[in-house]
Amino acid sequence: MSGEAAVELRAVTKRFDDVVAVDAVDLEIADGEFFSMLGPSGSGKTTMLRMIAGFELPTSGSISLHGQDVTRLPPFDRDVNTVFQDYALFPHMTVAANVGYGLMVRKVPKAERESKVAEALASVRLAEFGRRKPSQLSGGQRQRVALARALVNRPRVLLLDEPLGALDLKLREEMQVELKAMQREVGITFVFVTHDQGEALTMSDRVAVFNHGRIEQVGAPEDLYERPATEFVARFVGTSNVLADATAEALVGRPGTFTIRPERITMTAIAPADGAGSTAVSGGTTGTVSDAQYLGAETRYRVTVRSPGGAGGDLLVSVPSSARAGLGIGTDVSLTWPDDAVAELRPSPEVLPDSSP
C-alpha cells in the first residue's frame, strides 16, 4: 500500500473481562478508500470501529490516524465522525439545526455555519429539506441527514456503523449506490461496518472479514469471492460448496479442503441412454437433482453426487432460470467445472478458549 495510511492498527487487542473481543489485529486503510469490516454478530468489527472512533480504548496495541497516534485520545480530539444505525437525530430540531449542531457547539459564526450546512445538505441531495423535522422525512432521508451532519466538518475519516441496517431492502440497495457515489464525490476515507456480505461486496474498495475477533482475510471484493482463503470466508461471503476429506479427493483429485462457487458449475441433464448410473465424467461428476429453489434470475439446485470411490454428498449449482428447462427434481445430471473454479482453503486461525462466541 503506497502513501500514508488513513488508519493504521498495530496489534490492537480489546478485552472485556474474560472475553477477547478483538485479538491482536494489524490493519492499514488507505487514504480515500471505501473500506468495509464484515462479519457476523460478535466477530469484533463494531468494537474495532468504536476503538478507531475513541469510544473504546484498546487493552493493548496502537491506533494511528494519518500518522498521528490517537490510541489514548478522546473522540473529540480525533479527526473522525461516526454515523450510527439509529441516526441519533434530535427530533425537536429542524434538519438544518441537526446538521449544524456540531458547528454551533464549536462556536462557528452563524453565517459560516449556515453556508456549511447548506453545502452539506446539497451534497446529500436534501437542499430543500432544511426546515423540516426528522419525523417528516423517510428513513432514507433521515439517513442522509445523519450523513450530512457527519460530513459537515469534513472529517478525514468517516466511520459508519451498520448505517443502512434499519432500511427496507429496496431502500437499502438504493442507499448503497448513493453512499458509494457520495464517497467518491467527497473523497474522504469511509470505514463501514456491516454483517451483510452483499452490501460489503457492492460498495467497498477492500473488505476485512472478521471472525472471533480476528481478521481472516483482507482483499478486494472479487478476491474474497473468487479466492476465499478459509472455509469461514468461503461460507460467509456468498454461497459456496466446501469439499473436504474423501469428497475432495474424489472431485478435486488431491487431499485438502476446497471450495467451488455454485455458478461456476455447468449442469447438463443426462439422457437414459447416456448411462445415468455412471460415477464420473471428465472434469466433474454425475448426480441427481434433489431440490430446486427459484430465485428469480437464477435457480439454485441441490445435486446428490456420485463420486469415484463411493464418496458422495451434495453440491449446490446455480443455473440461469432461462436455462432451467429439463432440470427438475429427480433428473440425472452431469456436473463439470474449469480448474480455476476450484480454490484451496487454509484452516481458520485457532480460536482461543476465552474469545467471544
Q: What average pLDDT does range 124-149 have in this prediction?
A: 89
* Domain boundary pick from 229, 262, 280: 229
Alpha-carbon gap, residue 188 to 33, rounded angstroms:
7
Domain-embedded: residue 355: no
CATH number, domain containing residue 210:
3.40.50.300
Position 271 in a domain: yes
Burial class (CB in 10 A: 0-12, 13-18, 19+), 295: exposed
Give the model's pLDDT for residue 349. Answer: 67
Q: Do 280 and 167 share a structural domain? A: no
Instruction: Tell me if 311 is assigned to some domain.
Output: yes
Distance CA 244, CA 255 (A): 8
Highest mean predicted confidence (pLDDT) among 24-28, 146-150, 175-179, 281-285: 24-28
* Statement to judge: residues 262 and 199 lie in one domain: no
Regarding predicted confidence, which is higher, 292 or 178? 292
Same domain, 279 and 250: yes
Could you give the CA distance from residue 203 to residue 205 in angstroms, rounded to a whole number? 7
204 is a domain residue: yes
30 with 171, same domain? yes
Q: Reply yes or no on whether the pLDDT at 307 is more than 70.
A: no
Residues 160-173 have pLDDT tens digits of 998 887 778 887 88
Indicate whether 353 belongs to any domain: no
% of the chain surpassing 70 pLDDT: 92
Each residue's pLDDT tens digit, 4-61: 899 999 999 999 999 999 999 999 999 999 999 999 999 999 999 999 999 999 999 9
Residues 37 and 170 in one domain: yes
Least Cα distance to 44 among 29, 58, 64 occurs for: 58
| Domain termination site, one of 229, 255, 273 | 229
Q: Let me know whether 251 and 318 are in one domain.
A: yes
Please check whether residues 214 and 333 belong to one and the same domain. Answer: no
Are the C-beta atoms of residues 143 and 167 closer than 8 Å to each other? yes
- Residue 2, pLDDT > 50, answer no
Work out how many domains the chain is built from and give that number: 2
**Within a domain: residue 357?**
no
Instruction: Return the pLDDT at 285.
Output: 87
CA distances from 123 to 148, 150, 182, 186 (A): 7, 12, 7, 8
Last residue of one domain, picked from the residues 229, 260, 295: 229
Look at residue 234 and tell me if it is in a domain: no
**Pairwise pLDDT comparison (70 vs 277), residue with the higher score:** 70
Nine cell digits for residue 334: 452431469
When pLDDT is averaged across residues 261-277 and rounded to a whole number, the result is 78
User: pLDDT tens digits for 74-90?
Assistant: 998 999 999 887 778 89
Shared domain for 204 and 303, answered yes or no, is: no
Cite the DSSP H helix spans in the chain: 45-53, 95-105, 110-123, 139-151, 169-186, 197-203, 221-226, 231-236, 245-252
Name the residue range of residue 264's domain: 239-345
Whether 12 maps to a domain, the answer reads: yes
Does 138 lie in the same domain as 24? yes
DSSP 330: T
Are 172 and 85 within 8 A, CB to CB?
no
Judge whether residue 270 has pLDDT over 90: no
Q: Across the chain, what does the average pLDDT equal? A: 88
Are 141 and 66 part of one and the same domain?
yes
Tell me: the pLDDT tens digits for 240-264?
A: 999 988 888 888 888 899 999 999 9
Output the domain CATH number for residue 271: 2.40.50.100
Same domain flag for 263 and 140: no
87 & 164 share domain: yes
> In 3D, which of 138, 100, 93 has the Cα closest to residue 119?
100
